[in-house]
Amino acid sequence: MSRYVSAESSIFKIFGSEVWQEQDIKTFPENFTGEAINNEYIQVSVVPSGPSLNLNSASGVLMVSIFVESGLGPNRGKNIADALDSFLVGKTVPVVAGQVVQFNNSTMVPSGIDRDNPKLFRYNYTIPFSLFGVY
């Protein structure tokens, strides 16, 4: 499996886990084009973008768009960011034999009313990651 596919599939497995599903936060990949959602959800994008340790490694940023209902205050968006932190910050996730994805510290920035759906408010959550592979 290639390093980019390895990183993405291992990160997506976190959001497919039973423990994440218990958070009751609808989670979609970046290119999801399904039915419009009017209350809350997150959209996940794995962006390999940085230098790597060797030919079997990669680094990048996990970008998560958090969408919550507009007009209800900032707490729900921050609660979702805190939930993401509990699953990601400082964690190491096994990929395949000899490979792991390790997450660093996150940031969360409010970006305002969503331009596509004014019923939703958007936050941008980002966290750098590194995929380490044995060379």
1 — pLDDT class (breaks 50, 70, 90): low
Q: What is the mean pLDDT of residues 49-76?
A: 85
Please tell me the total count of domains within the chain. Answer: 1
For residue 103, give both structure tokens.
Answer: 């997450």
26 lies in which domain range? 3-133
Q: What is the pLDDT of residue 49?
A: 80
Q: What is the mean pLDDT of residues 62-85?
A: 94
41-50/99-103 β-pairing: unpaired
Q: What is the pLDDT of residue 39?
A: 83
- Say how far apart CA 116 and CA 98 lie, in whole Å: 42
pLDDT digits (tens, 9 = 90+) for 110-129: 999 998 889 999 999 999 99
| CATH code (residue 48) | 3.30.2000.20
Question: Could you write out the DSSP letters of every residue in 83-129?
Answer: HHHHHHTT-EEE-STTEEEEE---EEEEEEE-SS-TTEEEEEEEEEE
Q: What is the mean pLDDT of residues 7-27?
A: 90
In this predicted structure, the answer to whether residue 20 has a pLDDT above a threshold of 90 is yes
DSSP annotation of 44: E
pLDDT digits (tens, 9 = 90+) for 23-54: 999 999 988 766 667 789 999 999 988 666 67
6 — pLDDT class (breaks 50, 70, 90): confident
